Structure 1
Amino acid sequence: MNTVTVNLPSQRHLLLRMRFQLLGGLAFAIVVPALIRMSFDQQVIFSSNMQVTIVAAFLAHTTGYLLYRRIGNFPGVAAAGYILPTFALSYGIVFLTIFFFRFDYSRFQAAASLIQSTLWYFGLSLATRRLDAYRLAIIPGGDVDRLESIPGVNWHRIYSPDMVIEYASGVVADLRADLSDEWERYIADRALSGTPVYHVKQISESLTGRVEIEHLSENTLGSLNPNQAYLKIKQAIDWVSALFILVAFSPLLLAVGIAIQLDSNGPALFKQKRMGYRGNAYEVYKFRTMKLSAAIGDEKEAAITKAGDARITRFGQFLRKSRIDELPQALNILRGEMSWIGPRPEALVLSTWYEAELPFYRYRHIVRPGITGWAQVNQGHVAAVDDVLEKLHYDFYYIKNFSPWLDMLIVFRTVRTMLTGFGAR
């Protein structure tokens, strides 16, 4: 067989290599500030103060880098926007731990290391923005035509089994299609050569952040069961943080409650039956943002909040955009009914409607519903069945990729959402 080779750049650029990025970052963020200190006092390196700071900065920087890379692997992430939050988090945790155990450390060195870390990776992000774009080769046949509409990837079509795309990041094929013997041998040869081979559905999910389910056989319940160990860990973190929020922010919660009653007649809290964990109904608590006498239409119509809904009070508009109206749900978290992060719970009447219209809708209840979630930060508030179907795809992606890394990304995006008011109604 005569092989036609399509040559692409053969060497992965030095700036993109993990070893260069991490070692360069450690040198720039830890060694350079230490040398600056030593230029004023050469003996400072022998002090326990300096040595503790260097070790702590090494741990914080390495943790921050690994977290930054892990978050950057999720679809739709402009990784540069998460450099400061991830390193601020890693440095904050490490140096708060040191402070808690009363170890003496150099605040100048710690602050300089954090600043240098963010500057280093911001610089790398700018320098590598146009380098070595992600390249994937497409084997014809089946449901692969839609792939080329997905942005952020250089797609290369393979027109015959004699054609090889050198240095491609992987090969994509519809492994459910009826491929010829020549294409099946081609796929086997690519796998043996060390080139990753992806199913079209797998690569589509990883690039779009959505899981599209047409048939139960394509995603069995066993393959979609979330990590049970992390479920327990997450529940404990949720409970502790909810208790802290209720105690620490009790003056704010009280002030908001008083402001709601001054703004419009009625109680400060709003209660509603919603579908929750494992399909069990529960009563959710939120700050009231609507007028009591403004219910319209039937029960289903009343449960849907429309854009510019006239029922929303003046103060309620602010509460919704800032997401402060969600804070009383910390009570639901303490009761084990909710999590901070998960599929958004729907009113009981809406959930019943969606279950009748959408296949697999009930499966989203396999994890606790959340105050925020992957669908919320990607799509915002929706109610129409077609939009809810798209939200279901995001919810299933969250369940399938259930992990602390994805939760952390959702937290960062939720903060941005709170500042911009994205998706609020």
Structure 2
Amino acid sequence: MQRNLWQYLVIRILVGWLLVSIIPALLLFWDFIVTDNILITQINSIIASSGAIVFSLIGLERLTQFPGQKSMVTVLPTLLASGLLAGLILLIFRLPYSVYYLLFSGVLGVVFCFISQVILRAVTRVKIGYVPIGRYQSLLDIKDVTWVQLSKDFQPVSHQDLPFHAVVVDLSDSDLCLGWEQLLAESALQGIPVYNILQVSESLTGRLPIKHLYENNLGSLLPSPSYLLVKRLMDTIVVLFSIPITLPLAILIGIAIKWESRHSNSTILFKQCRIGQGGKLFTMYKFRSMIPNAEEDGAKMATDADMRVTKFGSYIRKTRLDELPQFINVLKGEMSLIGPRPEQLDFVRRFNETIPFYRYRHIIKPGISGWAQVMHGYVSNEDETKVKLEHDFFYIKNFSLTLDLLIVIKTIQTMITGFGAR
């Protein structure tokens, strides 16, 4: 299937650069240009604007490659990050710039990126041909994909004429006969990629199925050692630089919790033993959001409208502000800002016995927020835990700065919307 021109990043960069950087320069600096008297201030501004729009479009391309993402969510954070980066460079090197041009260019950049993503979503509706054997039924439940059922007599005449972008098949199924193999070979010869069902399921759902984990290479789930070091450094820097904001906020939350529980002897902080990297135990800190005797009968999973949660506790759980004291765990090296959520010891013992490969999630540090949290939210039973674990495995396999940045953006969205709070 022939791609739409707008699907090519280089086309979007070229059009964006012309509309956001060049046209505003022509409108505002035309007299200086025709008299060959353009100023260094104007040149710096054009370079800064050009860099910002190129960085934004490349960033959007990278952030929206992950499954289940609505690209519009990432537009403003990406533009803000690129704008701040360009502004910091101008300030650090004390370069003169035009405020009016950069404001005009910035507004056009926001409009262009939103329109660009709308067009991109409209022209990138994925069409996938599938061989109706094996585990194909699970694919048909995946949304935002047009599925085309293949038949053995289908003849892929040419790449352009094929009505789909790829072919998916369960390569491990015994019904994969010679007729299907010839069709797959012909499709590949015509330039249509052929994928195993597990690859497509993972890329479209953001989950790595546990029950088929043996079919994946466990070695591919090993996180990058170099990025682990970079991630540790970034975690420390972010927490230290956020102290002027988080410390006053933490004091206000502590006062509110103490006032709400003024008739009891409950503490402000909730401390609990959790499982960290390598299966090591550590004490995790949270703001208390439940009544003092919430777990006197043992550990329990949170449920919808949980009666143990206090009124103010419901608010800080919804906004994830109850997790703020875990910055202490991050500084101590026990947790990361992004990673699988640390689980309670009782639950870990149970899930190790009932869920295959469950202990593998402890290969990296647990996090305050993570892929499973922003994609699934809290869990209340073992079946939901299995789904959440599949998200954790996807994160470990795709462990990268790009995915971490996307999780940060979606975490902010989660704090605003209260998605998955219990």
Q: Same fold (TM over 0.5)?
A: yes
* Correspondence for 2:4 among 7, 13, 34: 13
- Identity among equivalent pairs (%): 39
Contact in 2 for aligned 1:213/1:219 (Cα 8 Å): no
The aligned counterpart of 1:279 is 279
The aligned counterpart of 1:175 is 171
Q: Does 1:231 align with 2:224?
A: no
Q: How does 1:189-204 map to 2 (within 5 A)?
A: 189-204=186-201
Q: How does 1:228-377 map to 2 (within 5 A)?
A: 228-264=225-261, 265-297=265-297, 299-301=298-300, 304-377=301-374
Q: Does 1:152 align with 2:144?
A: yes
The aligned counterpart of 1:73 is 65
* Correspondence for 1:27 among 5, 18, 23: 18
Q: Which TM-score applies when normalising by structure 2?
A: 0.92
In structure 2, relative to structure 1, the CA distance for the partners of 1:162 and 1:250 (3 Å cut) is closer
Question: Does the residue aligned with 1:239 lie in a helix, a strand or coil?
Answer: helix
* Correspondence for 1:106 among 98, 108, 120: 98
Aligned AA for 2:185? A
Q: Distance in 2 between matches of 1:241 and 1:182?
A: 57
* Correspondence for 1:119 among 111, 116, 131: 111
What displacement does 1:296 show?
Answer: 4.1
What displacement does 1:17 show?
Answer: 3.0
Contact in 1 for aligned 2:286/2:323 (Cα 8 Å): yes
Q: Distance in 2 between matches of 1:189 and 1:343?
A: 42
What displacement does 1:55 show?
Answer: 1.5
Contact in 2 for aligned 1:135/1:168 (Cα 8 Å): yes
1:352-383 alpha-carbon deviations (Å, 9 max, x no partner)? 22222211111111111111111111111113
Give the length in aligned residue pairs. 413
What displacement does 1:128 show?
Answer: 4.7
User: Any gaps of 5 or more consecutive residues in structure 1?
Assistant: 1-9
Question: Does the residue aligned with 1:163 lie in a helix, a strand or coil?
Answer: coil
Contact in 2 for aligned 1:37/1:44 (Cα 8 Å): no
Which moves more between the two structures, 15-24 or 379-388? 15-24
Q: Does 1:212 align with 2:203?
A: no
Q: Distance in 2 between matches of 1:377 and 1:153?
A: 22
Report the RMSD for the aligned CA atoms in angstroms.
2.0
Which moves more between the two structures, 270-279 or 185-194? 185-194
The aligned counterpart of 2:162 is 166
Q: Distance in 2 between matches of 1:271 and 1:400?
A: 31
Q: Distance in 1 between matches of 2:293 and 2:8?
A: 62
User: Any gaps of 5 or more consecutive residues in structure 2?
Assistant: none
The aligned counterpart of 1:4 is none
Stretches (4+) displaced over 6 A: none
Aligned AA for 2:12? Q
What displacement does 1:244 show?
Answer: 2.0
What displacement does 1:93 show?
Answer: 1.7
In structure 2, relative to structure 1, the CA distance for the partners of 1:88 and 1:214 (3 Å cut) is same
In structure 2, relative to structure 1, the CA distance for the partners of 1:128 and 1:289 (3 Å cut) is closer
In structure 2, relative to structure 1, the CA distance for the partners of 1:193 and 1:61 (3 Å cut) is same
The aligned counterpart of 2:49 is 57
Q: Does 1:414 align with 2:411?
A: yes
Q: Distance in 1 between matches of 2:268 and 2:375?
A: 30
Aligned AA for 1:266? S
In structure 2, relative to structure 1, the CA distance for the partners of 1:266 and 1:189 (3 Å cut) is same
Question: Does the residue aligned with 1:402 lie in a helix, a strand or coil?
Answer: coil
What displacement does 1:41 show?
Answer: 4.8
Aligned AA for 1:289? S
Contact in 1 for aligned 2:155/2:183 (Cα 8 Å): no
What displacement does 1:11 show?
Answer: 4.1
Q: How does 1:369-408 map to 2 (within 5 A)?
A: 369-408=366-405
